[in-house]
Amino acid sequence: MTQNKPLLEVRNLHTEFHVEKRIAKAVGGVSFDLNAGEVLGIVGESGSGKSVTSLSILRLIPDPPGKITEGEILYGGRDLLKLSYEQMREIRGREIAMIFQEPMTSLNPVFTIEKQVTEPVLLHEKLNRKDAIERAVEVLSAVGIPDARRRLKDYPHQFSGGMRQRVMIAMALICRPAILIADEPTTALDVTIQAQILELMQKLQGEREGSSILLITHDLSVIAEMCDRVIVMYGGLIQEIGTIRDLFGNPLHPYTRGLLASIPREENKGKKLYAIPGNVPSIFDFPSGCKFCSRCEHVQDRCREEAPELRELAKGHLVRCHFAEELS
């Protein structure tokens, strides 16, 4: 991991949705760096703001009802939020690419694989069609599509779910972007297929020097498998950031600890699982003060009144909890 300037800096990002005259603060001030060459994970449940954060980076939030209201997203010395539409379009797919959760619906059903996979290079690199096809064959082979050249004329429905996710990855990587944002890339897949895709992403990451992955998932095990560092989100805010060793070895936030404790493990067989009490509030109902205070077992009056700041307790290990020191 290089220690020079981060590849991407997200500063105080706020994204809101206006739903039936109410405002849902999906992301309420998120800041983090994505370093060159690293795999950074964002883990959270529904309503945590993890997906909205990732979509905000590429400005893919549907507007209306969504709106990025505040913040900066710095990439290559420019604030992506200040770029014109046309400049932003140049970034998408070329510098920062994205893959999504649902491989079944994320490909256009009426276009051939060839048309979809070559589209980014035709758009961004102005390659001629023949070269674009060569590049597509190369990248489809690299993601493990057998007999790639013959399958170019096939349509998405002729591929299985795992194969479609490989096509998505090929399409995202064809312009050799610096950053790949992967939003729940394996959630819709079977376990043995998930293992294939994770292995592929690791292999490709090893080959793509200096490029980074931002991996969004709800599954801590996938984080442990794939990431260098991890961000834990809850209620639209970062609750904890650290290396995976920090986070799994020395979790500081009560929410992180709750999540880790609630995973069924071999040694807990026959015992009760730890369960975080209560339910994830609806996006309109998160408490003021600490977002987690309505479910936290160590809640104090201060937590309900005063929103905690994200504090650095050890180098690179930050947590948003008033009482993190006492609890650990």
Partner 1 sequence: MSTPILELKDCEVHFPVYGGILRHKVATVKAVDGVSLDIHEGETLGLVGESGSGKTTVGRAVINLLRATSPDVHLGGQILYRTREGRQIDLNGLSRREMRPLRAEIQMVFQDPFSSLNPRMTVEQIVSGPIKLHMDLDRNARRNRVHELLEKVGLQSSYASRYPHEFSGGQRQRIGLARALSTNPRIVIADEPVSALDVSVQAQVVNLMEDLQDEFGLTYLFIAHDIGIVYHVSDRIAVMYLGNVVEFGTAEEVFRTSKHPYTRALLSAVPEPDPDGKRPDRIVLEGDIPTPLAKPSGCGFRTRCPIARPECAAARPNFETFSDSHFAACPYTETLNEKGTPHVEPRV
Partner 2 sequence: MIPTFLGITLLVFTITRFVPGGPIDRLMMEMSMSGSGEAGGGGGSAESSVDLPPGALDSLKEHYHLDKPMIHAYFLWLGDLLTLDLGKSFKYNIPVLELITKRFPVSMYFGLIGFALAYSVCVPLGVAKAIRHGSHFDFGSSFLVFLGYSIPGWALGLLLLLLFGAELEWFPLGGFRSSSWEQLSFFGRIGDQIEHTFLPVIAYAAGSFASLTILMKNSLMENLGQDYIRTAFAKGVPSRRVIFSHALRNSLIPICTGLGHAIGIVMAGSYLIEKVFNIDGIGYLGFTSIMDRDYAVVMGILVINTGLILLGNILSDVLYVLVDPRIRFS
Which H or E element spans position 183?
strand 179-183
- 45 lines the binding site for partner 1 (CB under 8 A): yes
Mark residues 268-307: x for contact with partner 1 by CB under 8 A, - for none: xx--xxxxxx-xx-x------------x------------
- 110 lines the binding site for partner 1 (CB under 8 A): no
Distance CA(75)–CA(79), nearest Å, equals 6
Nearest to 143 by CA among 198, 180, 190: 198
Distance CA(328)–CA(326), nearest Å, equals 6
CB 219 → partner 2: shortest distance, Å? 20
Contact segment (CB under 8 A) with partner 2 among 112-120, 125-133, 209-217, 229-237 equals: 112-120
How does DSSP classify residue 89?
H
Q: For the chain, where are the alpha helices, taking DSSP H only? A: 50-57, 85-91, 113-124, 129-142, 148-151, 161-173, 191-207, 220-226, 244-249, 254-261, 301-305, 324-327
Tell me the DSSP string of 305-317.
Answer: HSPPPPEEEETTE
- The residue among 86 and 147 lying less far from partner 1, judged by its C-beta, is 147
CB contact at 8 A, 185 and 112: no
Nearest to 60 by CA among 99, 22, 25: 99
CB contact at 8 A, 213 and 39: yes
- The residue among 96 and 200 lying less far from partner 1, judged by its C-beta, is 200
Mark residues 188-207: x for contact with partner 1 by CB under 8 A, - for none: --xxxxxxx-xx--------
- The residue among 262 and 328 lying less far from partner 1, judged by its C-beta, is 262
- 68 lines the binding site for partner 2 (CB under 8 A): no
- 243 vs 14, 224, 239, 248, 317, CA distance in Å? 24, 10, 14, 9, 7
Which one of residues 68, 122, 163, 180 is an interface residue with partner 1 (CB under 8 A)? 163
Contact segment (CB under 8 A) with partner 2 among 3-11, 95-103, 208-216, 246-254 equals: 95-103
**Cis omega (within 30 of 0) for bond into 6:** no
- 120 lines the binding site for partner 2 (CB under 8 A): yes
- 157 lines the binding site for partner 2 (CB under 8 A): yes
- 89 lines the binding site for partner 2 (CB under 8 A): yes
- The residue among 109 and 206 lying less far from partner 2, judged by its C-beta, is 109
- The residue among 168 and 283 lying less far from partner 2, judged by its C-beta, is 168
Nearest to 66 by CA among 28, 106, 24: 24
- The residue among 108 and 282 lying less far from partner 1, judged by its C-beta, is 282
- 248 lines the binding site for partner 2 (CB under 8 A): no
CB 293 → partner 2: shortest distance, Å? 34
Which one of residues 43, 107, 197, 299 is an interface residue with partner 2 (CB under 8 A)? 107
Query: In the block, which residue shows the tokens 């309900």?
Result: 304
Distance CA(311)–CA(272), nearest Å, equals 33
- 97 lines the binding site for partner 2 (CB under 8 A): yes
* Residues in touch with partner 2 (CB under 8 A): 58, 60, 85, 89-94, 97-98, 100, 102, 105-112, 119-120, 123-124, 155, 157, 168, 171
Q: Which residues bind partner 1 (CB under 8 A)?
A: 45-46, 146, 160, 162-163, 190-196, 198-199, 218-222, 224-225, 244-245, 248-249, 255, 258-260, 262-266, 268-269, 272-277, 279-280, 282, 295
